[in-house]
Amino acid sequence: MFRSKYNKGGKENMATIGEAADNYQASTKTMNIADLDRVSIDLQIVEDTFDFTKGDETKTVTQEVIEIDEVKYRIPVTVKQQLKVLMEDNPKLKFFKVKKSGTTKDDTRYQVIPLME
């Protein structure tokens, strides 16, 4: 909890909404590459590592992401596999987009769609 720097009558007060807003830091949730309308094949992939806690167990997770305007987008392995096939058939491919279907880990599927420049 934030504590107010203003002290009335010797009691420590909770922060005001304005003070809490000043101290607010947005979470750094990673987005999915399917959230983008258009992706260039020239974007650099970086490795992103974070800790994931479920119950009493904490695991370190490493994933590949691209970063655009300080937002990270995860790249599923199946997207890279499909993109490889598309690039073999079309070496001049520069842009693509990804369609995502499903809502759980087990039923999520990705479709890579080549785009014209």
Q: What is the pLDDT of residue 37?
A: 96
Q: By 3-state DSSP, what share of the chain in percent is helix, strand and coil, each rounded to 5? A: 20, 45, 35
pTM: 0.71
- Nearest alpha carbon to residue 66 among 57, 58, 56, 76: 76
Give the pLDDT of the chain (117 residues) as one tens digit per residue: 444 454 455 555 677 888 877 776 656 678 999 999 999 999 999 999 988 888 899 999 899 999 999 899 999 999 999 999 999 999 999 999 999 999 898 999 999 999 987
Q: What is the pLDDT of residue 89?
A: 94
Q: Does residue 94 contact residue 30 with C-beta atoms inside 8 Å? A: no
Distance from C-alpha of 50 to C-alpha of 78, rounded to nearest angstrom: 21
Distance from C-alpha of 23 to C-alpha of 15, rounded to nearest angstrom: 10
